[in-house]
Amino acid sequence: MYFKQFLHDETGCASYFIASRQSREAAVVDPQYDIQPYLDLAEERHYRITHVIDTHLHADHVSGNRRLAAATGAGLYLHEQADVLFPFIPLRDGDELHLGQLILRVVHTPGHRPEAISLLVINPPRSPEPSMVLSGDTLFVGDVGRPDFGGVEGAAQEYASIQRLLKLEDWVEVFPAHFEGACGKGMCGRPSSTIGFERRYNPVLQLSHDDFLRFAADVPARPLNMSAILATNRGEGDYAWAMPRDSVEVPSISPAEAPAWLQERQALVLDVREPGEYAAGHVPGALSIPQADLALRLDEVPRDREVLVVCQSGGRSLKAAKFLKHLGYNRVVNLEGGTLGWIKAGHPVERSEPAAAR
Ligand SMILES: [Fe+2]
């Protein structure tokens, strides 16, 4: 067999190229939007990409699945519950895909998303049992994927799915779809692990059932431009331009200097936190656009005025400001330290009714 892990530093994602050296057939799992590296690898090594598989609908990057399938003639595979508007080959729990002698066995692992799958990699000439699992956003190294939309129900599914993966033998290697990024807070940064190591040392897997549900139901902020990215991955629109960009510089100001700066420039404050965070206390007069919805609400962001982008502690707002700058919003500035810094500096906050749903 041939196996290659691609690590994508901008998004913290991993994608995979798995091939049979006998039949020269290859599968690409969780391809990024830029499909050239997979095409180049296939050409250099004389493989034919025959299967393109996403472990789930991604919310933090635009998938290259349809582009790669179109470029290669490969089949495009998703779990049968994937809610998309384009044709695909549906996968069910227990299905097996064959690449020459290699077998990719589907394990339905809902929780992070309803259609999430993991893939067991079996190479029968070496062993009848799986030696690797591509665990998608279900099991990470040092963490687990959080339910995107599922709340307590999603957390319960996630728990059951992870218990299923933990029944695998200790030696099974774990290759997740993320090694960093917004999909889990505690990933250790290593790009792979084993079932045995995670069972023993993954802190989330040491929690009791009830503690796990409490932990997993506490969903972190939705990723930047998630609405536009999901819409693209569902085939509802093409917002490939909404991918986050890190390669631009944005100026920051400190909470101490912010009030005078705002006053002088009559600047707009743009709060990119979740509605509940905004309701609990925000810079007076701030406009609320959660970062997940930013790309779809750009018409509310002025270009002819200074815009101070604010979040909780300054991380999310910097990424959002970089994205805006990349699109030509040249007057964006980041508030260092976020709303917490603003409060700490003794400035007033405004509260509003909590939004009904996130
Ligand atoms: Fe995900």
CATH number at residue 36: 3.60.15.10
Summarised one tens digit per residue, pLDDT across range 121-153 is 999 999 999 999 999 999 999 999 888 666 778
- Arithmetic mean of pLDDT over the chain: 94
215: left (phi over 0), alpha (psi -120 to 50) or beta: alpha
* Radius of gyration (C-alpha) of the chain in whole angstroms: 22
Summarised one tens digit per residue, pLDDT across range 158-169 is 999 999 999 999
CA-based end-to-end distance of the chain = 45
Give the domain CATH number at 315.
Answer: 3.40.250.10
Same-domain status, 38 and 128: yes
Task: Check if the beta carbon of residue 293 is closer than 8 Å to that of residue 259.
Answer: no
Same-domain status, 123 and 264: no
| Domain count along the chain | 2
Domain range for residue 81? 2-217
How many Å lie between the centroid of ligand 1 and the Cα of residue 44?
Answer: 30
- In residues, how long is the chain? 358
CA distance 218 to 280: 17
Same-domain status, 28 and 175: yes
Confidence of residue 358 (pLDDT cuts 50, 70, 90): very low
Same-domain status, 210 and 298: no
Confidence of residue 280 (pLDDT cuts 50, 70, 90): very high
- 3-state class of 312 per DSSP? coil
Longest pairwise C-alpha distance within the chain: 72
How many Å lie between the centroid of ligand 1 and the Cα of residue 187?
Answer: 14
pLDDT of 217 over the 80 cut? no
Q: What is the pTM of this model?
A: 0.92
Residues recognised as catalytic: 311
Domain presence at residue 234: no
Same-domain status, 135 and 182: yes
Same-domain status, 195 and 315: no
CA distance 310 to 295: 16
Strand partners of residue 144: 139
Same-domain status, 259 and 196: no
Domain presence at residue 232: no
How many Å lie between the centroid of ligand 1 and the Cα of residue 233?
Answer: 12
How many Å lie between the centroid of ligand 1 and the Cα of residue 137?
Answer: 5
Domain presence at residue 195: yes
Question: What does the pLDDT read at residue 53?
Answer: 98
Same-domain status, 278 and 192: no
Domain presence at residue 225: no
Domain presence at residue 286: yes
How many Å lie between the centroid of ligand 1 and the Cα of residue 336?
Answer: 28
pLDDT of 40 over the 90 cut? yes
Domain presence at residue 237: no
Same-domain status, 181 and 263: no
Same-domain status, 309 and 188: no
Enumerate the H helices of the chain as residue ranges: 36-45, 65-72, 151-166, 195-201, 209-217, 226-234, 258-265, 275-280, 315-326, 338-344
